[in-house]
């Protein structure tokens, strides 16, 4: 049962980290229309924001993958635990 609890705690932390990264993506994306529609488009800043956005997308994908691993770990260990009961 300890493995289930540990995996659950890990998944809670991953979920929190995923929410933080998601908020950062939303902040960047919400600024893009203003940057694109500005009278003087700062291409360097726009490029930097797009790169940051892609970086956070990669981070989110990693968190999602790790969350799926924790879900599988929890399911496997719960099944083992139930068989022992």
20-64 pLDDT, tens per residue?
999 999 999 999 999 999 999 999 999 999 999 999 999 999 999
Task: Delimit the domains of the chain by residue range.
Answer: 2-84
What's the pLDDT score for residue 73? Answer: 95
What's the pLDDT score for residue 15? Answer: 96
The sign of the torsion formed by the CA atoms of 73, 76, 19, 49 equals positive
Q: What is the pTM of this model?
A: 0.82
């Amino acid at each position: 049962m300890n493995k289930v609890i540990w995996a659950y705690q890990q998944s809670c932390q991953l979920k929190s980290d995923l929410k933080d990264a998601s908020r950062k993506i939303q902040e960047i994306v919400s600024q893009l229309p203003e940057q694109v529609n500005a009278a003087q488009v700062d291409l360097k800043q726009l490029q930097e924001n797009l790169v940051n956005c892609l970086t956070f997308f990669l981070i989110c994908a990693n968190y999602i993958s790790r969350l799926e691993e924790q879900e599988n770990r929890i399911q496997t260990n719960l099944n083992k635990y139930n068989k022992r009961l």
